[in-house]
Amino acid sequence: MAGLREDKKRRTRQAIGDVAMRLFAERGFEAVTVNEIAEAAGVAKVTLFKYFPSKESLVLHAVEEDLAGVVIARPPGRSPLRALREYLLAFAAAPIGEADELIARMKVIVDSPALTAAVNRLQYGSRRALARALLPGGRPLMPCETGEGSSAPREAGDETPPRSDAAGDGTSPRSDAAPGAAGHHPQPARAPGADPAALAAELAAAQISAAVLTLQETFFQRVAAGMPPAEAGRLLRGDVDLAFDLLENGLAWLGEKGTT
C-alpha cells in the first residue's frame, strides 16, 4: 500500500518537469529540445514521453480551466454566468502561491507562439464541454426559482484554484486514427440538425470561453511582464466584471462613442 514505487514515479515526474521548466526559462521553449531535457533529467527520451504526452504538456500540465465543471456544480438558483463570474472573481482574489515559479511559467508561455496556440487548443476543448453544460441537456439545468438577489456570499477562502482537470493534462500529441472510415473526433461533432437551442448553447459557450481566454491572456501578460501577481489579481477583478457585463448585456454599444 505504501506505494514505494508510486512515490518514485511521482518524484521522477516532478524532476522532469522541474528541469524542463528551468531550461525553458533560461533559453525559451523552442530552443530546448526534448533530448536535452531528458538528458538533463537523467532519463531516456522515451521515458520522458511516458510521463508527459508532449513537449507542450511539460509547461501546460497545470494550466487548465474547467468552466463546464463550474457551471455544472453551481448552487441551485444561480445562473451559469453568475457562477462563472464568481468563480473568476474568486480566482482573482485568491493569493497565488509560489509566485516565482508561476511567473516563470507564464513568461515561457507568453513568449512562445507554439504554447499560446496550445493554450488556445485547450480552450477549444473545454468550450465543447461548456456548451453541453449550458444545454438544459441531461438533467435539471435551471430551477428557475431565481434565488434572492445577491445574498449567498460565497464561502470565502474555499479553494478552487483551477484544480479540476478531468483527464490529466491535455495537449496530447498523436490523434492519429483510422483513415478510411468515419470521423473520429473527441466529441461526436454535434449533429448538424437545426436545433436553435443547441446552437444557442454552442454560441454562448463560444463567447464565454473566448472572453475567459482573453482575461486569462491579459492576466498572463501582465504577470509575465513583471507585475506582481497580487496587483495583477486586483486588475483582473475589474476586468472580470467588465467582461461579464459585456457578456450579459451585449455589444450593442459598439460603434457608439462614449463607452466608459
Please report, as residue ranges, which positions from 37 to 56 form the binding site for DNA (by CB under 7 A): 42-47, 49-50, 53-56
Ranges within 187-246 binding a second copy (CB under 8 A): 189-190, 192, 194, 196-197, 199-200, 202-204, 206-211, 213-214, 218, 221-222, 225, 227, 235, 238-239, 242-243, 246
Judged by CB under 8 A, the stretch of 11-19, 42-50, 160-168, 248-256 that binds a second copy is 248-256
257 binds, among DNA, a second copy, none (CB under 5 to 8 A by kind): a second copy
DSSP code for 56: T
Q: Which three cell numbers stand for residue 189?
A: 461533432
Helix (H, G, I), strand (E, B) or coil at 256: strand
Distances (CA, A) of 53 to 60, 81, 92, 212: 11, 33, 30, 26
Site for a second copy in 35-64 (CB under 8 A): none
Q: Is the sign of the CA dihedral 248, 250, 253, 259 positive or negative?
A: positive
Selected from 99, 117, 166, 230, the binder of a second copy by CB under 8 A is 117
Cβ 55 to DNA shortest distance, Å: 3
> Which alpha helices (DSSP H) does the chain contain, by range?
4-27, 34-41, 45-51, 57-60, 67-72, 80-93, 99-111, 113-134, 196-224, 229-249
Based on the shown chain and the rule CB under 8 A, indicate whether residue 114 belongs to the binding site for a second copy. yes
* CB of 115 vs DNA, minimal distance in Å: 12
Angle between helices 80-93 and 229-249 (to 10 degrees): 170
Return the one option of DNA, a second copy, none that residue 94 interacts with (CB less than 5 to 8 A, by type). Answer: none
